[in-house]
Amino acid sequence: MGVRRRPTLTDVAARAGVSVTTASYILNRRSKEMRISADAARRVQTAAAELDYRPNRSARNLRSASTATIGVITDHVAGGAYASRMLTGAASAARARDHLLVIGESEGDPALEALLIEEMFDRQVDGVVYATLATSSVTVPRGLRKHRAVLLNCVDRDERLPGVVPDELEGGRTAAAALLEVGHRGGIFVVGEESEHGTIAGRLRMQGIRTRLAETGCTLAGVVGSPWSVTPAYDAVSDLLARGVRPDALICLNDRIAMGTYEALREHGLGVPDDVSVVSFDGSELAGWLRPALTSVQIPYAALGDRAVTALLSGSQEVQRLPMPLVAGRSVARAHRSSPGTAATLG
């Protein structure tokens, strides 16, 4: 049996009873440029579906000077447990716009990153989305500034390139508000470090927390310094409790910190939320696995990827900050004791 011939535009036009030109205008969504009846458009679309017609992309690319491909260059995003959803969102947005993603990961190597940028544009991608695992302020690679590009989950230190990032400042306000709304006014500690791995997320989250508390005349009782992972957080909160400090509420700067915090509280005989309310950031699957389920301010990873591709193809020149919604768990309870509006900060 011979190989089945691929249907052509001529085949579609013949079945629909229209000219090849008319069929081309309809299938390329340019029918408004000609006076084409709705009936003719329906016949062409039906014929294309019946024949399983697929346009010749190479020919289309030559006409439009577009390859319908988008380069994505990341540091460690593809291997991130949750941040990889940015790539899922980007791929979905690209498909919806008849584009394909080409992904390269530099693993933080500047030389490899420069090579990836060069190779992406050698292959004539329509533009590049430059993504980072953690929300960061970055020095944009020189090669990227010469071309169409959008930053994803990072901002340009020189404020020249457009980007899409989570609204970490407002996210901090949201976390504080979750406690204020149930009557917490004092005894509130933050667990984490503002400058984790040079990211901007911690600093902005802390700024938002402090600002929202200040609006009601409150201040943090203290900051429990800890890297953003389970074991250091467990150690730091255990040390706090061993010193006889009894917090009313803890705001953890990510869900991994919250996991360590839960265990430290449990070992000291304190329950969540009956004794201590806990709020966190990330809104990851981990938040739902903890018991009780963790209340967490969510990073909208898939939406970030979607918006970055949309911004690239639309030519947006803005830095867009996407809302971080609160995912309510069962880790926050109404304040059970009267707390002062301010408290001494830990040394």
Separation CA 340–CA 333 (nearest Å) = 18
What's the CATH number where 221 sits? 3.40.50.2300
Neighbours of 155 (CB within 10 A): 21
Q: Confirm whether 327 is domain-assigned.
A: no
If phi > 0 it is left, if psi is from -120 to 50 it is alpha, else beta; for residue 275 that is alpha
Mean residue pLDDT of the chain comes to 88
Examine the pLDDT at 294 and tell me if it is beyond 80.
Answer: yes
Q: Tell me, yes or no, whether 205 and 143 share the same domain.
A: no
* Residue 107 within a domain: yes
Instruction: Give 6-18 as a DSSP string.
Output: PP-HHHHHHHHTS
**Cis peptide bond prior to 273, omega within 30° of 0:** yes
Q: Are 37 and 22 in contact (CB under 8 A)?
A: no
Are residues 137 and 111 both part of a single domain? Answer: yes
For residues 195 and 265, state if they share a domain. Answer: yes
Which structural domain, as residue segments, surrounds residue 280? 168-299
Which ranges constitute the DSSP H helices of the chain? 9-16, 20-27, 38-51, 57-64, 85-96, 110-122, 168-180, 201-214, 230-242, 255-267, 285-289, 301-314
The average pLDDT across 123-145 equals 91
Residue 345 lies in a domain: no
- For 54-76, the pLDDT digits (tens) are 765 545 544 445 678 999 999 87
| Closest of 347, 205, 177, 227 to residue 281, by C-alpha | 205
331 within domain boundaries: no
- Are residue 107 and residue 181 in the same domain, yes or no? no
CATH code assigned at 50 = 1.10.260
Whether 123 maps to a domain, the answer reads yes
Which range of 24-33, 143-152, 283-292, 299-308 scores highest in mean pLDDT? It is 299-308
Residue 330 counted as domain residue: no
User: Do 154 and 249 have their domain in common?
Assistant: no
Structural domain tally of the chain? Answer: 3
